[in-house]
Amino acid sequence: MQKMLPTKPLVKLSYLYLKPSIPSSTNHIILNLHGFLGSKSNFHSINRRLSKAINAHIFTFDLRNHGESELAHPLDYETLANDFIHFLGSNEKQFKNKSIDIIGYSMGGKVALLSSLKLNKSKNFQIRKIISVDMPPYEVAALPAEIYKKVDAIKYINLGAIKIKSNKDGSWKVKLLEMLGPYFTAGFMKVRANYKGGGLVKYYLPLEEFPSLFDDLKDWPVTEEKSNADVLFIRALKSNLIKDDYSLLERNFKRVKVKEFDSDHNILFNNFENSITCIIDFLQDKF
């Protein structure tokens, strides 16, 4: 298959910045990383609550191949982490010697964890706390079943095996929302050609160009680094990602806490109040 996307070791990340209520009185920074096929917009509700509860500079990112950031090969955790670290280094004055917390949901959780290990020996960037929402720092056996199902459906639509016609009134969105739900439909809604008619709808990202996608999302790069950051793992008990043996979380992280919730993997959306309360309490050193 001829690839449409370029291969780039680093890309510039799109981000949204929310200033603290009292900018002159804080060096606290919160960095947010979304999940697979998500974007910085997924953190809007979370950021509203964070900004009210904590006086901090809040940055929310689009990782490569997501949101408004550049589309490029490869799509693996090493590359995602390197993009993120490159952003911090390119904006060193904003982040140097500041108190940095990172919140990562799903895929973003692994990016946060790996980035903290890569930055562990850095003299310029101090990672204070990490919150990984339902994602562990090790290779997982399988992803949530919904991801396999929805990604396969997107590929079939993109290749024309499932035919959904584009049109000017956008009525194709109704069919996609019924089939995929709002989270996975969002990637079709950002393609302008889908609103012009005269063809079949296309997804913004040619997922068929990433044959090892599922394996890459399950992966965890082997590293002997140890992090001194305080780490909270928010575990969704109806998800299969974090194992019962919590000692596995401590291979690379010395200071680990786990909070369990009776939820599926979409915990930030389906159990929002409990999740955001837990996140704020951890960042405020309440447990």
Q: Report the CATH number that the domain containing residue 35 is assigned in CATH.
A: 3.40.50.1820
Report, as residue numbers or ranges, the catalytic residues: 106, 134, 265
Q: What pLDDT does residue 7 have?
A: 97
Does one domain contain both 31 and 125? yes
Residue 20, in any domain of the structure: yes
Domain that holds residue 241: 14-140+224-283
Total residues belonging to the chain: 287
Q: Which of 174, 209, 244 is the last residue of a domain?
A: 209
Could you report the per-residue pLDDT of 220-265, keeping only the tens digit for each? 998 899 999 999 999 999 999 999 999 999 999 999 999 999 999 9
The residues with which 230 forms a beta bridge, in sequence order, are 129, 255
Does one domain contain both 37 and 153? no
- Sequence-distant (6+) residues with CB within 8 A of 167 are 195, 197
Q: What pLDDT does residue 122 have?
A: 83
Which class for 211: exposed (0-12), middle (13-18), buried (19 or more C-beta within 10 A)?
exposed
Does one domain contain both 100 and 241? yes
With a cut of 70, list the residues of the chain below it in pLDDT: 1-2
Q: What pLDDT does residue 5 have?
A: 96
Residue 5, in any domain of the structure: no
Does one domain contain both 156 and 248? no
Does one domain contain both 37 and 160? no
183-198: b or e for each residue (b if 16 or more CB lie within 10 Å)? Answer: ebbbbbbeeeebeeee
Q: Which of 162, 179, 209 is the last residue of a domain?
A: 209
Residue 9, in any domain of the structure: no
Does one domain contain both 19 and 84? yes
Does one domain contain both 43 and 154? no
Q: What pLDDT does residue 208 have?
A: 93
Neighbours of 92 (CB within 10 A): 11
Residue 3, in any domain of the structure: no
Residue 231, in any domain of the structure: yes
Rounded-to-integer distance, Cα 165 and Cα 195, Å: 10
Does one domain contain both 174 and 128? no
- Sequence-distant (6+) residues with CB within 8 A of 108 are 32, 33, 34, 35, 38, 63, 133, 135
- How many domains, the chain? 2
Does one domain contain both 255 and 194? no
The residue with tokens 């890569």 is 118
CA distances from 3 to 67, 74, 96 (A): 20, 12, 38
Does one domain contain both 42 and 109? yes
Q: What pLDDT does residue 1 have?
A: 57
Chain center to CA of 14: 13
Smallest Cα–Cα separation from 261: which of 275, 279, 244? 275
Residue 215, in any domain of the structure: no
Rounded-to-integer distance, Cα 84 and Cα 90, Å: 10
Does one domain contain both 104 and 28? yes
Residue 196, in any domain of the structure: yes
Q: What pLDDT does residue 170 have?
A: 85
Does one domain contain both 19 and 103? yes
Residue 232, in any domain of the structure: yes
Sheet strand arrangement including 14-18: 14-18, 57-62, 28-33, 99-105, 126-133, 227-236, 253-261
